[in-house]
Amino acid sequence: MKSSITKVSIIGAGSWGTSIAIVIAEKYPEINVCMWAYEPEVAESINLRHENELFAPNIALPPNIIATSLLREAVLQSEIVILATPSKVLVDTVSKIRKYLVEGVCLGYLSKGFCKINNEIFTISQSFGKLLPQMKNRIVAISGPSHAEEVSKKYQTCLNIGSKSKRNRELIAELLTSDYLECRVTDDIIGVELGGTLKNPAAIAAGIISVLSDCGDNLVGVLISEALKEMTALATALKARPETIIDISGLGDLVSTVISEHSRNRRFGQDIGNQIISKTKYPDFIDRLILQFTPQFVIEKIAEN
């Protein structure tokens, strides 16, 4: 790592952001790793007890990890900024930090999903490009099969690092590569981010399958095959390369998310399946009616727990 790098910022102190902060801090003890936490109590836990008690309990954090609940403080004078917030708040978060970013900053993201700007849907990199047009060809997607529960235990992991900027994708790859985390770089950033997002419906379906009778591994195999075909078709339509979708951030992430008990989407599917089993007429008439007009409401109702 270039000696000029003195500060790296992780925006978001969930389990995945915390795991990546640990990877960087342990590899580069001379670098200050500053985490932004939405919850003040999480920042306090990291600074006073060197542990993220809410999202990564019982994992000791290196001393060069510090935390703040102030966005400005988190990103000021930081040469590398990595966003790890939920995709639904990314646009708002980037809008708040852009005036504090230093010139030439390397901006990456761990988040998966799509963003909405003025009622239009964009990938995360496209959204960042609209908010930060001067940086649109230098943004870095970091994605792959990456359950934080395994990375925090130093289980072997591999990620795709996607960016149109050769410098930035190699910079992030060097930053994250360790004895247990390998990085594979590509210029197909759209393919990298789509793989991590489009596999989620299949993971929910896998959760449903796992609790229903007469459904087993054979059907999961069919599900993975069908999901990969749909992911490849949609990604191709959005100008991504098919070979990226069958790489780590696509097929790799799809398989691990479909089969893993760490997968939140799989657990969500299991909750849906259990409700179907426990309520023979689920969803009820009212929910079926609401589904026709505001399906998001019913999904959120199911997901409350």
Residue 47 lies in a domain: yes
Position 290 scores a pLDDT of: 73
Claim to verify: residue 19 and residue 124 sit in the same structural domain? yes
Position 37 scores a pLDDT of: 98
Beta-sheet pairing, 65-68 with 32-36: parallel
Return the structure tokens found at 300. 């959120």
**pTM of the full predicted structure?**
0.90
Claim to verify: residue 41 and residue 108 sit in the same structural domain? yes
Which residue among 95, 120, 136 closes a domain? Answer: 136
Please choose, from the candidates 181, 183, 184, the residue with its C-alpha nearest in 3D space to the C-alpha of residue 153. Answer: 181
Claim to verify: residue 122 and residue 11 sit in the same structural domain? yes
Residue 129 lies in a domain: yes
Claim to verify: residue 92 and residue 208 sit in the same structural domain? no
Residue 92 lies in a domain: yes
Dist. CA 140–CA 162, nearest whole Å? 6
Low-confidence ranges of the chain (pLDDT < 50): none
| Residue 8, strand partner residues | 33, 80
Residue 214 belongs to domain spanning: 194-302
Claim to verify: residue 210 and residue 129 sit in the same structural domain? no
Residue 185 lies in a domain: no
Residue 188 lies in a domain: no
Residue 2 lies in a domain: no
Position 118 scores a pLDDT of: 92
Q: 116: alpha, beta or left, given left = phi > 0 and alpha = psi -120 to 50?
A: beta
Dist. CA 3–CA 24, nearest whole Å? 14
Dist. CA 228–CA 216, nearest whole Å? 19
Amino acid residing at 165: S
Position 272 scores a pLDDT of: 84
Claim to verify: residue 212 and residue 278 sit in the same structural domain? yes
Residue 163 lies in a domain: no
Dist. CA 264–CA 274, nearest whole Å? 15
Position 101 scores a pLDDT of: 97
E strands present in 69-228: 80-83, 106-109, 114-117, 120-123, 140-143, 157-162, 181-186
Residue 290 lies in a domain: yes
Claim to verify: residue 12 and residue 106 sit in the same structural domain? yes
Give how many domains the chain has, as a whole number. Answer: 2
Whether the Cβ atoms of residue 186 and residue 239 lie closer than 8 Å to each other? no
Q: What is the CATH number of the domain that holds 289?
A: 1.10.1040.10
Q: Please indicate whether residue 199 is annotated as part of the active site.
A: yes
Beta-sheet pairing, 140-143 with 157-162: antiparallel
Claim to verify: residue 128 and residue 198 sit in the same structural domain? no
Q: Which entry of 199, 229, 239, 281 is annotated as an active-site residue?
A: 199
Which residue among 70, 102, 136 closes a domain? Answer: 136
Q: What is the CATH number of the domain that holds 120?
A: 3.40.50.720
CA distances from 55 to 18, 25, 236 (A): 8, 18, 36
Dist. CA 167–CA 181, nearest whole Å? 20
Which residue among 136, 151, 166 closes a domain? Answer: 136
Claim to verify: residue 11 and residue 120 sit in the same structural domain? yes
Position 273 scores a pLDDT of: 86
